[in-house]
Amino acid sequence: MTPAALILAGYLLGSLPFGYWLPRWIAGVDIRTVGSGNTGATNVWRTQGFKLGLAVAVLDIAKGAAAALLARWLADDLVAVVAGLAAMAGHYRPLFLWFSRGGKAVATIGGVGLALAPLATLAAGGVWIAVFLVTRYASVASLVAAVTLPLFALLFDASVPVLVFTLAAAVAVFVLHRGNIRRLRSGTEHKIALRRRAVAGA
């Protein structure tokens, strides 16, 4: 496959809208009509429960990893980075939802990172878990983990293209979380409960 074909494949993999498909198939819910309206794992978790949210997160990680691994196997780190960025773009504006709003690509970034800089990504993932357990804000956890990812990549001697990817990914996370940052500043950001509350009267 040519580099252009690998990059296109990355975009198509990223465009697989698991956050829309799973709630639709399993719960009969159009995830775009509930919660924040985006198709990311966080919105699925917040509105449909942990199990479905976890399933979406795993699949979103897998598609990012597949895009980068395929390109790295058939080309090199630079093509793998661009294919990973294309997967992020696909997740944000998926072809299979006619380019409507998707998710914020944090899990997809994690998948690309696991393929290209596994130790750095696992370390940043540990930061995400620790910050989330303390704050219960997925957005805060994502922002802090995004800042640490390029630092860990530098620490673990990632190649220059991979280091550039981690920096670009960190910037993308902040850009795509602009609304969350505004809500955090105004005190209106929603926390995520680890256990769903029982419905009143149930």
pLDDT tens-place string over residues 79-123: 999 999 999 999 999 999 998 888 888 889 999 999 999 999 999
Compute CA 156 distance to the chain's CA centroid, rounded to the nearest angstrom: 22
> Side chain identity at 107, as an amino acid letter?
A
Task: For residues 201 and 45, give the distance between their C-alpha atoms in angstroms, rounded to a whole number.
Answer: 23
Contacts of 130 by beta carbon, 8 Å cutoff, 6+ apart: none
Query: Are the beta carbons of 136 and 129 closer than 8 angstroms?
Result: no
Q: Would you state the pLDDT for residue 174?
A: 92
Does the structure show a pLDDT above 60 at 77?
yes
Q: Would you state the pLDDT for residue 191?
A: 83
Q: Would you state the pLDDT for residue 115?
A: 94
Average pLDDT in the chain:
89
Task: For residues 42 and 73, give the distance between their C-alpha atoms in angstroms, rounded to a whole number.
Answer: 31
Q: Would you state the pLDDT for residue 195?
A: 60
Q: Which position has the token pair 């198939």? A: 25
User: 3-state DSSP call for residue 187?
Assistant: coil
How would residue 71 be classed by pLDDT, with cut points 50, 70 and 90? very high
Q: Would you state the pLDDT for residue 202?
A: 31
Does the structure show a pLDDT above 70 at 200?
no
Give the CA-trace dihedral at 127, 128, 134, 140, to 10 degrees: 120
112-138 b/e with 16+ CB inside 10 Å = b?
bbbbbbeebbebbbebbeebbeebebb
Does the structure show a pLDDT above 90 at 196?
no
Q: Would you state the pLDDT for residue 176?
A: 84
Q: What backbone torsions phi and psi does residue 2 show, to the nearest 5 degrees?
A: -75, 160
Task: For residues 18 and 40, give the distance between their C-alpha atoms in angstroms, rounded to a whole number.
Answer: 8
Task: For residues 69 and 150, give the distance between their C-alpha atoms in angstroms, rounded to a whole number.
Answer: 19
